Structure 1
Amino acid sequence: MRRPTLLSLLVSVSLLSACIVEAPGGASPNERRQAVVTQVPALSVRTGANFGDSVELVGATVQPGRLAPGEAARVTAYFKVLKPLEEDYTIFVHLEDAEGRMERINVDHKPAGGLYPTTQWKVGETVKDEFSITLPPGASARQLNLWLGFWEPKTDERLQLKNPDAVRNDGRSRILLVQVPVVQR
């Protein structure tokens, strides 16, 4: 049996990683179907935040609606596409103690589990994005603020919030999606 050379191994590894990073043609029809909804379910939070005149955050659900230290909640956000996006944005999520007693938890992620990049979003679609938030064991927070926005990692730019007077925000294109009560057990 012939042993592979270092060069052939490097070529194989680079080809394999190229396939993992981005599939040709983008999201498959099945992946797109998983990421797009035709009807938004009842929401626990409605926002209407407009990012860059391109995306409206319709709202979200948080299940369960309160957390205890060591527990996780599932957040599902719904984004209506208003105009095509020219960048592949990351959704940034900052989980902060409302009283400032714990360090921020970052839950930044690619939309729709990484299956449907924002440059592929189609005007008129509503994209569903699900992620989990977890409160560390022993945390003493009484309430958590969940902040959200769009971030382009290559340029470190945020997609600008266009209606800051209509939604709770910090003036830096970061909206306060929801405040989650914490129960101590």
Structure 2
Amino acid sequence: MRLKLSTVVLPSLLLLGPACIVEAPGGASPEERRAATVAQVPPLSLRNGANLGGKVELAGATVQPGRITPGEQAKVTLYFKVLQPIEDDYLVFVHVEDAEGRMERMNVDHKPAGGLYATSQWKPGETVKDEFAIYLPAGAPTRALNIWLGLWEPRTDTRLKLTNPDAVRNDGRDRILLGQVPVAR
């Protein structure tokens, strides 16, 4: 059995002087290197808890990959926990904005669940999964993208009201900041 110590500080030596550091020769083995590296940035997992109109909670989301490269896209998955029946059919509105405000906003508004499951059909107790993609144009000068979202009823041009604005990041206009996605360079 091969014992490899990267760094060891022995408490008894602290009384005698500087700490003793033991480093194994040769660095990491190929197996250790594979275990410590990833081929792809993992999803960015976000918990939220935004309550929309007492009817729906945005329970969480993932962004895959966890950073976006200019000229490529990222997949966003939202998880809506249904609290009460919803009378109207809302769209998921999504505003993708440059963190520095140098780019034009991208709108990714869409029917939830790929248009297969309207909000008026959602049942209390269900968690509805909604997926969409965001795209960052090649050459975009931003370091990060902010993803803002909520539920919007287009006939009346109204958003489902955020009932717990002190609990989640928002802009005061019923737009929830889902998160900030770093841009890879």
Give the partner amino acid of 1:170: D
CA contact under 8 A between 1:160 and 1:173: conserved in structure 2?
yes
Secondary structure, aligned partner of 2:114: helix
Which residue pairs with 2:6 in the alignment?
none
CA contact under 8 A between 1:95 and 1:145: conserved in structure 2?
yes
Identical-pair percentage: 73
CA contact under 8 A between 1:43 and 1:59: conserved in structure 2?
no
Note the C-alpha offset of 1:81: 0.3
Which residue pairs with 1:141 in the alignment?
142
Note the C-alpha offset of 1:43: 7.5
Q: Distance in 2 between matches of 1:61 and 1:142?
A: 19
Q: Distance in 1 between matches of 2:92 and 2:178?
A: 13
Note the C-alpha offset of 1:68: 1.2
Secondary structure, aligned partner of 2:113: helix
Which residue pairs with 1:69 in the alignment?
70
Note the C-alpha offset of 1:138: 1.2
Structure showing greater relative contact order (alpha-carbon pairs closer than 8 Å, 6 or more residues apart): 1
Give the partner amino acid of 1:132: A
Give the partner amino acid of 1:105: M
CA contact under 8 A between 2:44 and 2:66: conserved in structure 1?
no
Which residue pairs with 2:59 in the alignment?
58
CA distance 1:54–1:43, change in 2 (3 Å): farther
CA contact under 8 A between 1:49 and 1:56: conserved in structure 2?
yes
Give the partner amino acid of 2:46: V
Q: Distance in 2 between matches of 1:47 and 1:60?
A: 8
CA contact under 8 A between 1:47 and 1:177: conserved in structure 2?
yes
Deviations 1:37-90 (A, max 9, x none): xxxxx9710000000000000000000010111110000100000000010000
TM-score, normalised relative to structure 1: 0.76
Q: Whose helix proportion is higher, 1 or 2?
A: 1
Note the C-alpha offset of 1:137: 1.2
For the aligned residues, what is the CA RMSD?
1.1
Q: Which runs of 5+ in 2 are unaligned?
A: 1-42
CA contact under 8 A between 1:68 and 1:183: conserved in structure 2?
yes
Secondary structure, aligned partner of 2:145: strand
Q: Distance in 2 between matches of 1:158 and 1:83?
A: 17
Secondary structure, aligned partner of 2:86: coil
Which residue pairs with 1:158 in the alignment?
159
CA contact under 8 A between 2:65 and 2:74: conserved in structure 1?
yes
CA distance 1:98–1:43, change in 2 (3 Å): closer
Secondary structure, aligned partner of 1:44: strand
Q: Distance in 2 between matches of 1:43 and 1:83?
A: 28
Q: Which runs of 5+ in 1 are unaligned?
A: 1-41
TM-score, normalised relative to structure 2: 0.76
Note the C-alpha offset of 1:181: 0.3
